[in-house]
Each structure stands twice: as C-alpha cells, then as structure tokens.
Amino acid sequence: METARLTKDLFDQSLEPQERPGYQQLSLLYGVLIGFFLALGSWGGEAWRIAGLPLENAYLSLLLGSLTLIILCGFSGWLSGRVGNSWVTVIVWLVTSILCALIIGYQPYFGRTVAEWLADTRSWGLPIYTAPLVTNAGVILGGLPIIVILLILAMLQSSRLEQAVVELGDHGQFSARSVFILLIPMPLVFLAAFLTGSMQIKPAAGAVNVVDKAIQVANSTDEDLGPLGIKEGMNYGALSGVQDQLSDNYTLRIGEVDPYISQTFILAEFDNGSWINCRTMNDQLTFCFDANPPYTVGLLSLINGEAPPEECRGCQILGDEGLVSWLQERAQLLGTDPQIERLGQWGGYVLMRAYASDGSYTVDCLFNRMSPLMLDHCQEVLP
C-alpha cells in the first residue's frame, strides 16, 4: 500500500512539484553538483599541477574552498527547491553566484591563510597572504561567467527537477536517469568556473613547480648550472650559491607573495637541515639564497646590538626601536652564547626562538616580510 501511494504521488499532477516525493532531495543534489563542478572548474587544474609535489598543506586550501562551494550551493539548491517559487529561485541563485565568485576570487589569499591557521594554530589571526587592493565589484565582474550560467540554470531549475522527479524509482529513490538529467548542464558550470578561475590572479600557482624542477635538476647534475639553464630555458644558475646544501628529500612551502609585481618566495626545507628561499617573478626563477643567516645571525646581531657581518646577505633587520631596545635589554639573560632555532613559518611570517644555553631564559620573536626582513614582535617564554 505504501509503495502504491508513493508511486501515485510521483505522478499526481494535483501536487505542487516541491511536494512530490524526492523533489527536495533532487534539488539538494542539484545544488551539490553545481558546487562540485564549480570547484572542479576553478581548482581542478591547480590540483593536477601540484600533484606529487612535496608541498606543505598542498590541498588543504583547495579542499576548504571546494567544501565551501559545495555546502553553499547545496543549501541554495535545497532552499529554492523547498520554496518552489521561480522568482525566489532566481534571487537565491543570484546571491549564491555572487558569493561563489567572491570565494573563488579570494581563495588564493584568504583561503590559503585559513588553511595555515588550521594547520598550525600558532599562526591564528596573522594576515599571512594578503589580497591585492581590488574591490569586491572587480572580483564579482571576474565571476560574470558563473553569475550568467547560474542565473540561466535557476530559470530552468523547476522544469529540470520536474523531469528528474518522473525518473525516480518506485519508492522515490534516485535512478541513473534522474541523476543524468541533473548532470546535463554541468559542463557549462565547469566551463564558467574555468573561465572565472582563468581570469583571477593566482599567485604561486606555477612558482612551486618551477622551484621543484630546478632543485631536482641542480641536485642531480654535475654540470655548470648557468650554461645548463641557458640550454634548457630555465635559470638553474639561481641555485648555484646553495647547490651544496641540497638533498634528495625536501618539502616546499609558499612564502611571501606580492601579487602586484608577480613575485613569490618559495621556501625549501631539506632533511639535512638546510633551509633556502627561492624568489620567482612571473613564474620564472630569479634567485635562491640560504634562508638561515638572516634569521639566526640577524637576530643575534639585534640581541648584541652589533651590526651584522657585511657578507651576511639580508641580515640587516628592520624593527621598531622600542622593540629592538627591549630585546637588547635581555641580552644578559640570554648569556654570552644564546642558542637560536626556528619554530615555524607561515607565508612571510617566521617564528624564531632565542634561549640561554642553560635553558634559564627564552624569547620568541616573530619576523615578517622577507625582503627587507622586519621584526614584528618578541615575547618572553615562561618556563
């Protein structure tokens, strides 16, 4: 009897579409599919490019962005299907499409920042990757393909869901045919997202690949890196000064990003303890240097109140005079041979620790910006 009633309800024309069994589930699935294909079109290519790279937290920001799109679009699909009003459906999807454009536009900055916060709570609240000074209107304009396609789909949503309802099983369960009907417009959603993603600035998208390839070549050849780079069209010579510090096992991390001049620093950490920074501009490798001295020798120079050695590249650290004085006042507590180590890095922020050799006193200092290096703040660490 229950099966017969459900079957009757499926084909009962006196019922409003949203009242038919399975209609709201279909509208939810429709929204989820839209969110999935928006994410796939926006970030699928980037995910493919970084596949297999030793990149720290490689997919976390992409996963967060994808889940946000899927949840947002799934909710919009469910809400519009539940209300069942054409005008409400259009308004819901208009708002949703604008939010999707903003999410995709800001993901390389705010999305990566949130991923760093979640991966290491010590970085919570730091403006790690800052977006360029563009207006929301500019980001929304870049998302115009998404807005247009989702508005068209919103106007056709009711008829598409009605077609899919007819193809449901006897108990209102999904069938291959009903799902296929929902999938028909998804290539257009994918294309709109791909076009939107292509128009957005994506700092560091190619820089990681460039640095990874250069490190692999530099670490596996005995040839002169300069001529080899000229022959292969890549500046392998940028690694000449740090070639002896390379090893087979390493991890990469996106450092400081300056979208205005398309400059990105990529950090490489090796299992032998070496730590280098590589600068790229427009996804072209320009220079790599030992990242350790600016933070160790430079911090020690600040503590002692002495100028860093001339040969120490980048060891001249900028900082508030009051903060520098505070640090120098604690030089005695740190002793004649303070030990310095790196605790963590998040984008251009680096957390360093200086402590007395007997462990009696410890200071943590946070640095910001890689060129020039800037002391952000320091604090005592209680035992």
Q: Higher-confidence residue: 209 or 133?
A: 209
pLDDT at 187: 96
CB within 8 A of 300, min separation 6: which ones?
338, 340, 354
- Give the mean pLDDT of 31-43: 96
Percent of the chain, pLDDT > 90? 54
Q: Chain-wide mean pLDDT for the chain?
A: 87
How many angstroms separate the CA atoms of 47 and 58, rounded? 8
Three-state secondary-structure class, residue 252:
strand
Check whether 265 has a pLDDT greater than 80: yes
Confidence of residue 9 (pLDDT cuts 50, 70, 90): very low
Whether the CB-CB separation of 200 and 104 falls below 8 Å is answered with yes
Task: Work out the pLDDT band at 15, boundaries 50, 70, 90.
Answer: very low
pLDDT tens digit string along 106-117? 898 899 999 999
pLDDT digits (tens, 9 = 90+) for 267-298: 999 999 899 999 998 889 999 999 999 899 99
pLDDT at 136 over 70: yes
- What number is the average pLDDT over the span 79-103? 92
Q: Which amino acid is at 191?
A: L
Residue 24 pLDDT grade (very low, low, confident, very high; cuts 50, 70, 90): confident
pLDDT digits (tens, 9 = 90+) for 41-53: 999 988 998 888 9
Per-residue tokens: 367: 């640095």
Q: Which SS3 state, helix, strand or coil, does residue 335 take?
A: coil
For the purposes of burial, counting CB atoms within 10 Å of the CB of 164, is it exposed (0-12), middle (13-18) or buried (19 or more)? buried
User: Angle at the Cα of 274 (from 273 to 279), degrees rounded to 5?
Assistant: 145
Q: Is the pLDDT of residue 253 over 80?
A: yes
Token digits for 337?
């041979």
62 — phi, psi (to 5°)?
A: -65, -40
In the chain, the amino acid numbered 166 is V
* pLDDT at position 375 over 80: yes
